[in-house]
Amino acid sequence: MRKNVPEIDLYVPAEHEDFVHIAYSDKYLTEEQILAIDCKILEQRDFHMVYVENNWVGGGLGVEINHAKKCGKVSFFIQSLDEVTAAALRVIVKDLLKGKESDRTS
């Protein structure tokens, strides 16, 4: 994703899986607390991108999707990142960022 759409500031919760696993296993954080942190990070992002593998949406992802809706974030659901999808995402991201920039200057 970063290679195909470099304009986005991408946060991927799964990239922090070691921290999450240890915090959960050692009972530093509960599942609800971990999801609350993910949702706070989502609030700081321009939009929400969801990679749905084999049409499966787990419980944590469902919480993020619902939170994105609640915060008025646009969610994009992606099943594969082929050339067509990557090209469409580049256009969408550029339009979203352009709109965000024009909101700042108005």
pLDDT at 11: 78
Q: Domain for residue 33, yes or no?
A: yes
Q: Which residue has the higher pLDDT, 25 or 101?
A: 25
Q: Domain for residue 5, yes or no?
A: no
Q: Is residue 25 pLDDT above 80, yes or no?
A: yes
Count how many domains the chain has: 1
Residues with Cβ within 8 Å of 92's Cβ and at least 6 positions away in sequence, in order, are 76
Q: Domain for residue 3, yes or no?
A: no
Q: Domain for residue 55, yes or no?
A: yes
Owning domain of residue 19: 13-105
Largest CA distance in the chain: 49
Q: Domain for residue 21, yes or no?
A: yes
Q: Domain for residue 1, yes or no?
A: no
Q: Domain for residue 61, yes or no?
A: yes
pLDDT at 106: 66
Rounded to whole angstroms, how far apart are CA atoms 7 and 72?
21
- Interval 45-63: pLDDT, tens: 888 888 887 777 778 888 9
Q: What is the pTM of this model?
A: 0.75
Q: Domain for residue 8, yes or no?
A: no
